[in-house]
Amino acid sequence: MQHRTRLRSRTTTRPTTTSRLATTIRTAVIATGGVGLALLTVSPAAAAPVATTATITAPATATVGDSIEVALTLPATSDVFAYQIDVAADADAVQVVDGSATGPDGGFDALEQDGDTVSLLHTRLGTSPAVSGDLAASFDLTATSPATVDLAITSVTLVAADGSTTTLTDPASTTVRIAAVPTPSPTPTTGPTGAPTADPTAAPGGTGGGSGSGTGGSVDPVTDTSPAPAGGALAWTGADLAPWIAVSVALLLAGGGLVVARRRASRAAAAEDAR
């Protein structure tokens, strides 16, 4: 006996598929609604960090090459876990000093310069509590060119431990006038304090009290134009010394001969007496 396979009606298959799809959509909607409700429940509990104002101070004047300390203060803060403070500064006149950023103890500080904007960043370490009270930070700039530089806080962003943020846009500013390095003036030199010397251009026969070619006939050594002797030689008078040198040599030879003759005579007399 053969059994025929019973075919299901299409009208019964469609409602089953539709009901499953509806159940899936309903579940997704319920889940999404639950997440949204949870978020709405958590949001009112998130406490944004508190800060109302900021101040900036720096030296009023500086010279090219000087280091300029920029001090920033956020008074009466609460629940600050991280922050970013942007300061406008002329990059043609000042440059940041790497590693000069400071902030509250128990955190990490970083300093960045992007064009004319200097950003000071701070975040607490994992075990450090959020900051409350007066928040003090600073960084250093190097003066590179003469200018009048306006240092202005353009933005302050505070982040709480739960991720909520507070932003301050009320600017605070200060001005630094940078001067060029002064050029040292030359030191005047003074002449010797000794007695005045005779004028080498004066004529030997002038009317002064010198010993020119007047009555005495002597030559002024300052104005004497006769050729000087060679280095190390005696002064040359213009006389011929050759005859005098020959006579002197002859006299020396004669004197030497007399001395030798006397010595021989003395020896002969001594020998005669000895006999």
pLDDT tens-place string over residues 14-24: 444 334 433 43
**One-character DSSP codes across 48-62:** --B----EEE--SEE
Place of tokens 């942007």: 86
- Please give the structure tokens belonging to residue 53: 């104002």
CA distances from 255 to 260, 261, 264 (A): 9, 10, 15
Q: 106 and 125 in contact (C-beta within 8 Å)?
A: yes
- Given a cut of 50, is residue 234 above it in pLDDT? no
Q: How far apart are CA 241 and CA 199, in angstroms?
A: 35
Residues 173 and 57 sit within 8 Å (Cβ to Cβ): no
Taken in order 206, 211, 214, 217, the sign of the CA dihedral is negative
Q: Once rounded to an integer, what is the mean pLDDT over residues 185-197?
A: 64
Task: Give the per-residue pLDDT at 221.
Answer: 53
**170 pLDDT more than 70:** yes
If you search the block for the tokens 């000895």, which residue do you land on?
274
C-alpha 203/C-alpha 210 separation (Å) is 10
pLDDT tens profile 78-128: 999 999 999 999 999 999 999 999 999 999 999 999 999 999 999 998 788
d(C-alpha 163, C-alpha 165), whole Å: 6
Q: What does pTM read for this prediction?
A: 0.52
Under the phi-then-psi rule, with left for phi > 0, alpha for psi from -120 to 50, and beta for the rest, what region is 79?
left
Pairing relation of β-strands 82-88 and 117-124? antiparallel
Determine phi and psi for 90, rounding to 5 degrees. -70, 110
pLDDT category at 261 given cuts 50, 70, 90 is confident
Compute the mean pLDDT over every residue in the chain, rounded to the nearest whole number: 74
Q: Express each pLDDT in 195-227 by its tens digit.
A: 555 555 555 554 444 444 444 455 555 555 555
- Measured from the Cβ of residue 86, the count of other Cβ atoms closer than 10 Å reads 17
**What confidence score (pLDDT) does residue 255 get?**
72
Q: What is the largest CA-CA distance in the chain?
A: 199
Q: Tens of pLDDT along 124-147?
A: 987 889 999 999 999 999 999 999
Count of CA atoms in the C-beta half-sphere (13 A) of 201: 0
Give the position of tokens 């002449």.
191
DSSP 43: G
The reported pLDDT for the residue numbered 127 is 83
Q: How many angstroms separate the CA atoms of 254 and 269, rounded? A: 23
- 11 pLDDT tier (thresholds 50, 70, 90): very low
31 band by pLDDT with thresholds 50, 70 and 90: very low
**Residue 57 above 90 pLDDT?**
yes
Residue 44's identity, in one-letter code, is P
Residues in Cβ contact with 86 at an 8 Å cutoff, skipping those fewer than 6 apart? 117, 118, 119, 153, 154, 155, 156
Helix, strand counts (H, E) of the chain: 2, 11
The DSSP result for 225-265, as a single string, is: -SPPPPTTPPPP-S---HHHHHHHHHHHHHHHHHHHHHHHH
